Amino acid sequence: MTLSGWVLPWVSALAAAIIAYGLYLAFFVAPPDYLQGEIARIMFVHVPSAWLAMGCYAVIAASSFGLLVFRHPLADVSAKAAAPIGAAFTFLALFTGSLWGKPAWGTYWVWDARLTSVLILFFLYLGLIALRSSIEDETLASKLTAILALVGIVMLPIIKFSVEWANTLHQPASVLKIGGPTIHPSILTPLLVMGAGFLVLFIALHLKAMRNEIMRRRVKALQLAEVARAQAGQVPAAAE
Amino acid sequence: MSAIWTLVARDLRLAVRQGGAVGTALGFYMIVVALLPLGLGPDLNLLSRIAPGILWIALLLSALLSLGRVFESDFEDGTLDILALGPLPLELVAGAKAFAHWVSTGIPLALLAPVLGILLNLDLEIYPALVATMLAGTPAVSFIGAVGAALTLRARRGGLLVALLVLPLYVPTLVFGVAAIGSLLGPEGFLAPFLMLIAISLGAVVLAPFAAAAALRAQMQ
Amino acid sequence: MQLVAENLVLKRGGRTIINGLSFQLGAGQALLLTGANGSGKTTLLRSVAGFLKPFTGELRADGLDDEQELGELCHYVGHLDGNKPHLTVMENAAFYAGYLGGLDASRAQVGLKKFALAELADIPAAYLSAGQKRRLALARLVATPRPIWLLDEPTVSLDTASVALLVDAVNAHLATGGIVVAATHLPLAFTMSTELNLDAQGKAA
């Protein structure tokens, strides 16, 4: 905890700095899109959000694996802390995607492969949060949520594949293609910078959330110990 | 191995005796499919075009009705404990119960679909494809649903929660199921989505029992 | 065969319920678990059945081949009866005889006779009284032979005559070399039994 406490302010500052630089590049350096004009700049928030949305689920899946297989004590804290953050990034991706859609395609929503997959990813996050909050026993909740996260990570590629197969409206993935990205570097650089900034932001948020969760559990343990003491103390007190 | 069939036979017998559950699911299926034209208007051309999607979605919702109870009643009366002490690993117990659910609920729903297709003016030539895809896809519905049922055994608001957890996981089955039927309405092939549908069902049958058993074990402590 | 526990520590929901328990039970011996509510009697029984893995320590049956899990050697009669209300008495008993032991309905009949339920064979289990349901649960002990019997408050809802039937069945089981672990509030006249009292810290008092 002390290490993370020391590191956290630096990470947060770094995140802010990188994102600020990225935004500067996005708004002032990158050229406007020849078709869509200035509005396409929203891509610099939308695409990194989508990356983080998926990356966050991978973190949850890895943490869940760590919990179930290695019983690592921090694994559950990590998974629990990451879920709302991932849901937020997913929502941000959906929201910015929708804002982008109106001027670009004429409608706030369109059922293409990318947006649909992200929407389903959002539902998966909601499912994780809902399951955990509906089980009283925390140890049990962490195990069951871990199982659900692993089921989700197995199903996610299948869901994505099926949705893509069903229709193809969205532009094909132009950053991660075999043979290198096909985007012009003046667009690519701000995109990658924003991506890096969002990543550091996620690390900062995740660290903070994990620290909060650990402190919450400590408070709860102290309260439970108080209850146990009171119960033990009651019997001799009553006998007096 | 006869233990599996003893268990499946018991579950089927219970499904028949507690006729309520299967009957309710079938009734729900009928009502939802009947409601949609009331909401969408009686344009027969429109209905026949969207019929595959309606029939599939309504089937998923109906299956969800009965899924929550796959493990619940055994958990609540203590039977699950004893099933775990038998010669079968818990994975096979979960698989057997999901299989029984498919036979007692999935197959009847799949067979009811063409009858309901009449309400939606579905093309008669599509009927064989309709039944084939539903029979191929409903195992995934039962088995993936069983995972949801196992996870929500002890959860509050279990019924709604199962739907929230499981419906996103039904998307591949839905997509390929509708595509396979709809292929006869359009230019795409039937075989590709149909094979994908079968692959997903087989994958679910093999893998879902592991997740379900893990969830059951965690809650039997 | 022997049922052995060595420095057993059991945790549930993060709380330590059993804290360093050891015992050894040989063939023909019964262990009576006593102690206040919450002292871990049910937890201990469930861990022998294999539902709860030990946190540390060991629980094993000596003299058993490696293939079998401890749970497959046990009968477990817990607080819940494990009867399906929509099946008849005979159907319930026959299911367990078939599922647990691969045996047919005639063995189920033996179990029902032992616990005086034979006349009620075709009655749906939902119509039985609490005591009769308990007896139906106990009937599977006799219907399918298994070496270790785990009984959690078996006498709940039973009248005196039925308790006598239970004691009879247990003593017969012990006489053939079986092992019984029973949590109970009532003093039960099992032959060859030792008492293990669990205190609030989950140790032998």
Per-residue pLDDT of chain A (240 residues; tens, 9 = 90+): 777 777 777 777 787 777 777 777 777 666 666 556 667 777 788 888 989 999 999 999 999 999 999 888 789 999 999 999 999 999 999 998 888 877 777 777 877 777 888 999 999 999 999 999 988 888 899 999 999 999 999 999 999 888 888 764 334 444 433 334 456 667 777 788 888 888 888 888 898 898 889 889 889 888 888 887 887 776 554 444
Q: Is residue A189 part of a domain?
A: yes
Q: For residue B1, what pLDDT is reported?
A: 61
| pLDDT higher than 80, residue B62 | yes
| pTM check: above 0.95 | no
Residue of chain C whose alpha carbon sits nearest to that of A225: C15
Give me the number of domains chain A comprises.
1
Give me the number of domains chain B comprises.
1
CB pairs under 8 A between A and C: 6
Q: For residue A178, what pLDDT is reported?
A: 33
Comparing CA positions, the residue from A23, A54, A185, A192 lying closest to residue A117 is A54
Mind listing the pLDDT tens digit for each residue in B140-154?
Answer: 999 999 999 999 988
| pLDDT higher than 90, residue B159 | no
Q: For residue A238, what pLDDT is reported?
A: 47
For testing contact with chain A, the best of B64, B90, B151, B210 (most A CBs within 10 A): B151
Sequence-ordered alpha helix ranges (H) in A70-184: 73-105, 113-133, 138-166
Between C170 and C185, residue with greater pLDDT: C170
Region B187-211: what's the mean pLDDT? 88
- Which of C80, C83, C100 is nearest residue B85 as measured by Cβ atoms? C100
Q: Is residue A237 part of a domain?
A: no
Distances (CA, A) of A147 to A154, A159, B90, B205, B218: 11, 18, 16, 17, 10
Q: Inter-chain contact B172–A158, Cβ cutoff 8 Å?
A: yes
Residue of chain C whose alpha carbon sits nearest to that of B78: C82
Please tell me the distance from the alpha carbon of residue A80 to that of residue A85, in angstroms, as a whole number.
10
Q: Inter-chain contact B168–A130, Cβ cutoff 8 Å?
A: no
CB contact B186 to A (< 8 Å): no
Mind listing the pLDDT tens digit for each residue in B73-130?
Answer: 899 889 999 999 989 999 999 999 999 999 999 999 999 999 998 888 888 888 888 9
Please tell me the distance from the alpha carbon of residue C196 to that of residue C205, in angstroms, as a whole number.
8
Answer whether B208's CB lies under 8 Å from B147's CB: yes
Q: Mean pLDDT of all residues in chain B?
A: 89
Region B32-48: what's the mean pLDDT? 85
B50 confidence band (pLDDT: 50, 70, 90): confident
Q: Is residue A234 part of a domain?
A: no
Mind listing the pLDDT tens digit for each residue in C76-122?
Answer: 999 898 999 999 999 999 999 999 988 888 888 888 888 888 888 88
Pairing outcome for strands C179-183 and C30-35: parallel
B58 confidence band (pLDDT: 50, 70, 90): very high
Helix (H, G, I), strand (E, B) or coil at C88: strand
Q: Which are the contacts of B205, defined by CB distance < 8 A and separation ≥ 6?
A: B95, B98, B139, B140, B143
Please tell me the distance from the alpha carbon of residue A124 to that of residue B139, in angstroms, as a whole number.
22
Q: Is residue A37 part of a domain?
A: yes
Q: Is residue A190 part of a domain?
A: yes
Please tell me the distance from the alpha carbon of residue C165 to that of residue C145, in angstroms, as a whole number.
17
Between C66 and A79, residue with greater pLDDT: A79
Residues of A with CB under 8 A from a CB of B: 68, 120, 123-124, 126-127, 130-131, 134-135, 137, 140, 143-144, 147-148, 150-152, 154-155, 158-159, 161-163, 165-166
Q: For residue C65, what pLDDT is reported?
A: 66
Chain C hits for B82, Cβ within 8 Å: 76, 82, 96, 100, 140
Answer whether B59's CB lies under 8 Å from B145's CB: no
Chain B hits for A123, Cβ within 8 Å: 164, 167-168
Q: Inter-chain contact A140–C14, Cβ cutoff 8 Å?
A: no
Between B94 and C159, residue with greater pLDDT: B94
Q: For residue B43, what pLDDT is reported?
A: 84
Region C23-44: what's the mean pLDDT? 86
This model of the complex carries an ipTM of 0.88
Q: Which are the contacts of A46, defined by CB distance < 8 A and separation ≥ 6?
A: A93, A96, A97, A100
Structural domain range at position B140:
2-219
Neighbours of chain B (3+ CB pairs under 8 A): A, C
Neighbours of chain A (3+ CB pairs under 8 A): B, C
Please tell me the distance from the alpha carbon of residue B13 to that of residue B22, in angstroms, as a whole number.
12
Beta-carbon-side half-sphere exposure of residue C23 (alpha carbons within 13 Å):
24
| pLDDT higher than 80, residue C172 | yes
Tokens, residue A147: 């199982």
Q: For residue B185, what pLDDT is reported?
A: 54
Pairing outcome for strands C2-12 and C179-183: unpaired
Pairing outcome for strands C30-35 and C15-26: unpaired
Residue of chain A whose alpha carbon sits nearest to that of B213: A147
Q: For residue A85, what pLDDT is reported?
A: 94
> Domain C2-198 belongs to what architecture?
3-Layer(aba) Sandwich (3.40)
CB contact A134 to C (< 8 Å): no
The dihedrals phi and psi of C79, each to the nearest 5 degrees, come to: -65, -35
Pairing outcome for strands C74-77 and C148-152: parallel
CB contact B214 to A (< 8 Å): yes
- Which of C80, C82, C86 is nearest residue B18 as measured by Cβ atoms? C86
CB contact C13 to A (< 8 Å): yes
Q: Could you say which DSSP state residue C157 is in?
A: T
